[in-house]
Amino acid sequence: MSFYDNKYNFLKYKNFFMGISLIFFTFSIIFFFTKGLNLGVDFKGGTVIEMKFEEMNKSEDIRKSLLKINLGDVKVKEFGSNKEFLATIEQKGKNNDFVSSIKNHLEKDLNKKVDFRRVEVVGSKISKELTRDGIYSVLLALILMLIYIWFRFEWQFSLGSIIALVHDVIITIGAFSLIGYEFNLSIVAAILTIVGYSMNDTVIIYDRIREFLKKDDQKDLDELINDSINSTLSRTLKTSGTTLLALISIYFFGGEILKGFSFALIWGILIGTYSSIFVASPILIYFKVKRNWEEVVDTSP
């Protein structure tokens, strides 16, 4: 008997897990509104400069130096090594020589040569547009999924999967709010991928539920759903496993730029796998799915 062949009773504690999800969900929303997100320049506007010095440096010195010229709020952190730094600057500069003037000032003030390896300047108009597009794209993805599942299954499945997706999205945002990782465009991309992935997981369990419903319309629904989860469990865990292996590789070896992105995906895969088993499936019981999946046979003479 291997680990996968055991039969687990996932639905025995369904109220407990629903409760946990609800708590996470609520706290995520509370965090979002009280602590907020550490928005990147994509959504807040401003300037980001990734710089590299020839010798080691301290982020505090760079920050102090940058504060001498009028740049608004300035944050500097080490980015990979003690020669590389990421500066986030509130100002976006009206003049076109804004960035080169910062570079000149730094080199003169610190008396060290510096290379600006990456510069991003986002105006307030663009950041507003990106925020709008980001929200729209997540909503659009959710709506399209809702329609697709509705079309392929039944409304109960459609609603259940969307609740699970919203659960995943909100809790991911909550995690970002709590940890304070920068929230930028690539995180939105990651969230959309999570939506796709979590849906993938959910669909596979739903597919099995539907199959069992067709086979047997007398069996207790709790038991039937539990059987479905169990018979797809090894697939669910193995796929999550391989995907996580690939993502962990990006997290550790893909460089600083992909760190937040791969973190979001890793978190999303975990939460997505959890939600397919503990949210999307049990919720069908509350919605009372249709039991009679037999095709209507015309018996009239």
- 2 is a contact residue toward another protein (CB under 8 A): no
Which residue, 74 or 114, is less far from another protein as judged by CB? Answer: 114
Which residue, 180 or 255, is less far from another protein as judged by CB? Answer: 255
> Contact with another protein (CB under 8 A): which of 78, 90, 207, 222?
207
Cα dihedral 249/247/41/39 (nearest 10): -120
Cite the beta strand spans of 155-230 per DSSP E. 182-183
Both structure tokens of 96: 């076109």
> Contact with another protein (CB under 8 A): which of 204, 221, 270, 285?
204
Which residue, 26 or 100, is less far from another protein as judged by CB? Answer: 100
Which residue, 95 or 299, is less far from another protein as judged by CB? Answer: 95
Q: Which of residues 217-246 bind another protein (CB under 8 A)?
A: 231-232, 234-235, 238-239, 241-246
> Contact with another protein (CB under 8 A): which of 37, 188, 225, 283?
188
Cite the beta strand spans of the chain per DSSP E. 38-39, 46-53, 74-78, 84-89, 114-122, 182-183
- 196 is a contact residue toward another protein (CB under 8 A): yes
Both structure tokens of 76: 């500097």
CB of 270 to another protein, least distance (A): 14
Q: Which of residues 40-99 bind another protein (CB under 8 A)?
A: 50, 95-97, 99
Contact stretch for another protein (CB under 8 A) within 11-19, 55-63, 144-152, 291-299: 144-152
Q: Which of residues 10-49 bind another protein (CB under 8 A)?
A: none
CB of 195 to another protein, least distance (A): 5
User: Strand, coil or helix: what is 185?
Assistant: helix
> Contact with another protein (CB under 8 A): which of 29, 39, 126, 221?
126
Report whether 114 contacts 66 (CB < 8 A): no
> Contact with another protein (CB under 8 A): which of 257, 286, 290, 291?
257
- Closest CA relative to residue 222, chosen from 22, 6, 18, 14: 14
Both structure tokens of 18: 């629903």
> Contact with another protein (CB under 8 A): which of 74, 87, 171, 203?
203
- 270 is a contact residue toward another protein (CB under 8 A): no
CB of 150 to another protein, least distance (A): 12
- 133 is a contact residue toward another protein (CB under 8 A): yes
Report whether 121 contacts 40 (CB < 8 A): no
User: Strand, coil or helix: what is 296?
Assistant: coil
CB of 285 to another protein, least distance (A): 22
- 254 is a contact residue toward another protein (CB under 8 A): yes
Cα dihedral 93/99/102/107 (nearest 10): 180
User: Strand, coil or helix: what is 52?
Assistant: strand
- Closest CA relative to residue 191, chosen from 279, 272, 273, 276: 272
DSSP-derived letter for residue 120 is E
CB of 300 to another protein, least distance (A): 31
- 116 is a contact residue toward another protein (CB under 8 A): yes
Q: Using CA atoms, how far apart are residues 66 and 87, in angstroms rounded to an integer?
A: 9
